């Protein structure tokens, strides 16, 4: 069979089932079954053996822990306390309120690693004041786009999945994500300082040491969490999985016994929600892993390598960016990584592109897909929480899509942003 004969049915299955609104993991699993049975001539047993083996990797244990932590924080006042600290710190500077939203999302990313959770949490808190001071368009754009920082700033579930798919150190990936995350925060913040002009009749707010101190005291429990989680990983005290358990345990203690935002009777729905999301992620991982195995046997990675043959590093990275930006608009982030990363890693390695650098290119590019139509998950969450039309939210995100693409290009062609910290601290 030619590659076209192999790929065409796969695309028909993926697109057809997506149009029928089947879950993405079902579409991917059906594609994998087609490859294994009709292309590789293997039994259905191999499919389901691979399916269950994919969910038994130790590194994936971190996923449910971070999901639980994110759900507990979203259901408590910790998100509000976090954004209030950022607002009181920055409210006196130009663009202080939207910048506070960006930084709060970055810190939230170091806690939960969930973009949709960040959209829901901060959308409820800052949409009204942002709209009043800077207009609704800026409010919608900054809330929806900034939430993707939760997938870029470590600890990131997306990074965990990339690490599992490519057998790359997750701790090194967490280190690799710090400077790219800071770069994006700086670029977006500079844009906001330039563009933000208070609306007529809205007085400039002044910094208040008293209000800042009060917000800082209330926000201290949530500010401690990213230091605790990341510090334990980077010092070698905890593995990424253990740090996830630490995050979940700390969030539980603070939300239930510290701030007392969550009653015991509220825990079951919260755990159910986290469990439901975790199950979807694991099914997606399993289906995508089986698909990757089937694709490898069908020699699709070799075909990909051949397709990129003759390209230099610059051309390959440019084509990769274009591919990932397009894929991110239509595909789930985790699925895209699990399918594409194993296929493209050999070509990248042959061109001298480190796995850590490739990982950051994947993570940041696909993060943009979270707030890019037609299937940006953050857009759907913002639509649900803020009750605004999808078209209005999508239009508001356009300036930030451009800013993130600029950031991606810098991260792509300055590999030291991804590799410097792991090399310095771990000898990567």
Cβ(195)–Cβ(142) below 8 Å: no
Phi-psi category of residue 112: left, alpha or beta, with phi > 0 → left and psi -120 to 50 → alpha: alpha
Rg (CA), the chain: 22
Scan for tokens 């990769």, then name that residue. 320
- Measure the CA–CA gap between 142 and 138, rounded to whole angstroms: 6
pLDDT of residue 2: 66
Q: Which helix (H) or strand (E) covers residue 208, if one does?
A: none
| pLDDT given for residue 336 in this prediction | 84
The helix or strand, by DSSP H or E, that contains position 260, with its residue range, turns out to be none
**Contact at 8 Å (CB) between 264 and 72?**
no
Distance in angstroms (rounded) separating the CA atoms of residues 171 and 241: 10
Please write the tens of the pLDDT for every residue from 229-252: 888 888 888 888 888 888 889 889
Closest CA to 162 of 332, 324, 302, 333: 333
Identify the pLDDT of residue 200. 63
How far apart CA 46 and CA 353 sit, in angstroms, is 33
Q: Are 64 and 278 in contact (CB under 8 A)?
A: yes
**CB count, 10 Å around CB of 88?**
23
SS3 content of the chain, % helix, strand, coil (to 5): 80, 0, 20
Whether the upstream peptide bond of residue 383 has omega within 30° of 0, thus cis, is no
- CA-closest candidate to residue 124, choices 386, 427, 418: 386
* Helix ranges (DSSP H) in 298-415: 300-307, 313-330, 333-350, 355-368, 377-386, 390-413
3-class DSSP state of 257: helix
**pLDDT at residue 114, as a whole number:** 64
Contact 126, 119 (CB under 8 A): no
Return the pLDDT at 45.
78
How far apart CA 207 and CA 191 sit, in angstroms, is 22
> By residue range, what is the domain housing residue 61?
3-426
Residue-by-residue pLDDT tens, the chain, 428 positions:
666 677 788 878 877 887 787 777 788 888 888 888 888 888 777 777 777 777 777 777 888 888 888 888 878 888 788 888 988 888 888 888 889 889 888 887 777 666 677 777 778 788 888 888 888 888 889 988 888 888 888 878 888 889 888 888 888 998 999 999 999 999 999 999 888 876 666 667 787 888 889 989 988 888 888 888 888 888 888 888 888 888 889 889 988 998 888 898 889 998 988 888 888 878 878 877 777 777 777 777 677 667 776 778 888 999 889 988 888 887 778 778 888 888 888 888 888 999 999 999 999 999 888 888 777 778 888 888 888 888 898 899 999 999 999 999 999 999 999 999 998 887 65
* 3-state SS assignment for residue 322: helix
Kindly compute the dihedral angle of the four CA atoms of residues 108, 112, 115, 121, in this order, to the nearest 10 degrees.
-60
Residue 232, both tokens: 């334990």
Residue 261, H or E segment: none
- Per-residue DSSP letters for 323-346? HHHHHHHHS-HHHHHHHHHHHHHH
**Domains held by the chain: number:** 1
- The answer to whether the peptide bond before residue 272 is cis (omega within 30 degrees of 0) is no
CA distances to 10, 15, 280, 284, 372 from 63, rounded to whole Å, are 29, 28, 11, 13, 24
Query: How many Cβ atoms from other residues are within 10 Å of residue 375's Cβ?
Result: 16
* Residue found by looking up tokens 């990675």 in the block: 301
Contact at 8 Å (CB) between 379 and 397? yes
Q: Is the pTM of this model over 0.95?
A: no
Query: Are the CB atoms for 108 and 208 separated by under 8 Å?
Result: no
8 Å CB contact between 328 and 379 = no
> Which tens digits make up the pLDDT trace of 326-376?
888 877 787 788 888 888 888 888 889 999 999 999 999 998 888 887 777
With tokens 């990983």, the residue in question is 233
């Amino acid at each position: 069979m030619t590659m076209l004969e192999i790929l065409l049915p796969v695309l028909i299955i993926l697109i057809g089932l997506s149009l029928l609104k089947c879950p993405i993991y079902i579409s991917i699993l059906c594609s994998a079954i087609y490859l294994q049975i009709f292309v590789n001539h293997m039994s259905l047993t191999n499919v389901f053996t691979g399916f269950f083996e994919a969910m038994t990797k130790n590194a994936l244990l971190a996923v449910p822990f971070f999901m639980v932590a994110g759900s507990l924080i979203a259901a408590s006042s910790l998100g509000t306390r976090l954004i209030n600290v950022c607002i009181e710190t920055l409210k006196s500077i130009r663009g202080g309120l939207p910048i506070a939203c960006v930084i709060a999302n970055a810190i939230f990313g170091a806690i939960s690693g969930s973009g949709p959770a960040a959209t829901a949490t901060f959308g409820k808190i800052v949409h009204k004041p942002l709209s009043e001071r800077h207009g609704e368009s800026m409010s919608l754009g900054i809330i929806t786009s900034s939430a993707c920082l939760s997938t870029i700033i470590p600890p990131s579930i997306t990074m965990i999945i990339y690490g599992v798919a490519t057998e790359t150190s997750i701790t090194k990936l967490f280190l690799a994500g710090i400077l790219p995350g800071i770069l994006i925060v700086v670029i977006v913040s500079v844009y906001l300082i330039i563009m933000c002009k208070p609306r007529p009749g809205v007085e400039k707010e002044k910094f208040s040491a008293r209000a800042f101190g009060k917000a800082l005291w209330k926000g201290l429990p949530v500010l401690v969490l990213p230091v605790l989680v990341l510090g334990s990983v980077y010092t070698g005290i905890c593995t990424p999985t253990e740090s996830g358990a630490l995050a979940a345990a700390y969030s539980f203690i603070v939300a239930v016994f510290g701030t007392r935002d969550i009653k015991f009777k509220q825990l079951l729905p919260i755990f159910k929600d986290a469990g439901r999301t975790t199950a979807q992620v694991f099914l997606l991982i399993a289906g995508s892993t089986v698909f990757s195995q089937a694709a490898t046997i069908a020699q699709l990675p070799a075909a990909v390598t051949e397709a990129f043959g003759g390209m230099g590093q610059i051309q390959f990275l440019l084509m990769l960016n274009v591919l990932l930006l397009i894929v991110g608009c239509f595909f789930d982030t985790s699925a895209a990584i699990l399918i594409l990363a194993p296929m493209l890693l050999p070509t990248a390695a042959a061109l001298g592109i480190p796995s850590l650098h490739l990982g950051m290119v994947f993570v940041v590019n696909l993060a943009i897909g979270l707030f890019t139509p037609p299937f940006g998950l953050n857009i759907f969450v913002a639509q649900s929480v803020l009750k605004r039309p999808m078209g209005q939210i999508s239009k508001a995100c356009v300036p930030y899509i451009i800013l993130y693409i600029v950031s991606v290009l810098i991260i792509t062609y300055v590999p030291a942003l991804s590799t410097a910290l792991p090399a310095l601290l771990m000898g990567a």
